[in-house]
């Protein structure tokens, strides 16, 4: 008996249309949320660890308990210690003050010099070889490992009598953060309408007026983003800070290092230290999140 091509064997029920793609989309969504969950746990666990340590009793410092009100009863003893010892060598008053000064100065220097360099690089647009050489020189501090630069930087600051000063930290952090500022701001300037910049030059605008009155307002989100990034980098810098600091220039990373005492590390105070240290950059990033995202995306998509 002959059969047609439309006949289906009785043992094979017809497949439901769209069942395969729909199940694949669900699987991809599950994998996506699983990846997001893993990334969140990986990112937020150190913060949770610090918060838990800051409210955990000292007698439980070396026990793996991480759930307040479940594994232990929270205490504010560590926070009272932070306030009472804020001016000691293990306190955070001096470190927070120095880090705010150094990080703010570094951010201002990186944004100002980066903007000036980006405006200056406009004159080398036709000479790509010169532009490439200049950009390569600018990138050197980021290419060379920081540990290689410690000895020459130490000798340089000593010869200039800048040892144990906040000015030395501003200079060094600016030199290390400046490559990112120059590259990012230069990319934003290159995406600006050339007609607007040419018209400003034809109207007699100097390079200073062009940078401050024309370019800066147009790429203000990018400038703010660069400032926040360089602020965060300077806030977390440890290698040169510990090499430079002696008595007056200790920053917040050094304040945590001071907790390593002769009798061991004071784990009971590490948590409150870490929470106080990260709260300022966290508040800054949270308050400027919209501007920060807009600035980082500036020039990423061309019309």
CATH number of the CATH domain containing 253: 1.10.3720.10
3-state secondary structure of 163: coil
Determine, yes or no, domain membership for 6: no
pLDDT at 138: 77
Residue range(s) defining the domain that contains residue 202: 89-297
Q: 72 forms bridges with which residues in the sheet?
A: 68
Determine, yes or no, domain membership for 167: yes
In this predicted model, what pLDDT tens digit does every residue of 119-136 receive, in sequence order?
Answer: 888 766 655 666 667 777
Determine, yes or no, domain membership for 7: no
What band does 1 get if pLDDT is binned at 50, 70 and 90? very low
Q: Which two tokens stand for residue 126?
A: 């036709």
pLDDT at 174: 93
Residue 60 in this model has a pLDDT that exceeds 70: yes
Determine, yes or no, domain membership for 71: yes
Residue 10 sits at φ, ψ, to 5 deg, of -65, -25
Determine, yes or no, domain membership for 9: no
Q: Where are the beta strands (DSSP E) in the chain?
A: 260-261, 264-265
- Rg, C-alpha atoms of the chain: 27
163's CB contacts (< 8 A; 6+ apart) are: 157, 244, 246
> Are 254 and 193 within one domain?
yes
> Are 138 and 286 within one domain?
yes
Contact 170, 106 (CB under 8 A): yes
Determine, yes or no, domain membership for 1: no
pLDDT at 301: 44
Determine, yes or no, domain membership for 144: yes
> Are 238 and 155 within one domain?
yes
Average pLDDT, stretch 213-217? 88
Q: Mean pLDDT in the chain?
A: 81
- What's the pTM? 0.78
* Total count of domains within the chain: 2
Determine, yes or no, domain membership for 18: no
Closest to 110 (Cα-Cα) out of 164, 161, 187, 184:
184
Q: Where are the beta strands (DSSP E) in 153-270?
A: 260-261, 264-265
Please state, in angstroms and as integers, the Cα–Cα distance from residue 162 to each residue in 79, 122, 141, 148, 169, following that order: 35, 35, 20, 20, 9
Contact 53, 270 (CB under 8 A): yes
């Amino acid at each position: 008996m002959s059969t047609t091509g439309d006949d289906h064997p009785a043992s094979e029920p017809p497949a439901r249309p769209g069942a395969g793609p729909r199940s694949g989309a669900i699987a991809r969504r599950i994998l996506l949320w699983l990846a997001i969950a893993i990334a969140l746990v990986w990112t937020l666990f150190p913060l949770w660890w610090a918060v838990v340590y800051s409210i955990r009793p000292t007698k439980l410092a070396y026990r793996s308990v991480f759930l307040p009100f479940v594994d232990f009863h929270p205490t504010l003893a560590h926070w009272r210690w932070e306030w009472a010892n804020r001016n000691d060598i293990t306190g955070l008053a001096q470190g927070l003050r120095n880090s705010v000064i150094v990080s703010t100065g570094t951010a201002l220097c990186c944004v100002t010099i980066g903007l000036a360099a980006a405006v200056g690089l406009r004159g080398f647009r036709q000479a790509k070889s010169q532009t490439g050489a200049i950009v390569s020189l600018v990138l050197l501090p980021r290419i060379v490992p920081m540990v290689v630069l410690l000895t020459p930087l130490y000798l340089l600051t000593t010869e200039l009598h800048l040892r144990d000063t906040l000015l030395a930290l501003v200079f060094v952090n600016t030199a290390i953060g400046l490559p990112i500022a120059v590259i990012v701001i230069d990319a934003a300037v290159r995406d600006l309408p050339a007609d607007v910049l040419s018209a400003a030059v034809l109207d007699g605008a100097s390079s200073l007026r062009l940078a401050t009155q024309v370019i800066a307002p147009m790429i203000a989100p990018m400038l703010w983003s660069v400032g926040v990034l360089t602020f965060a980098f300077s806030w977390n810098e440890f290698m040169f800070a510990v090499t430079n600091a002696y008595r007056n220039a200790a920053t917040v990373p050094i304040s945590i290092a001071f907790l390593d005492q002769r009798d061991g590390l004071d784990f009971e105070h590490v948590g409150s230290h870490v929470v106080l240290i990260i709260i300022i950059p966290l508040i800054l990033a949270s308050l400027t999140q919209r501007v920060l995202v807009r600035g980082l995306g500036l020039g990423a998509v061309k019309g």
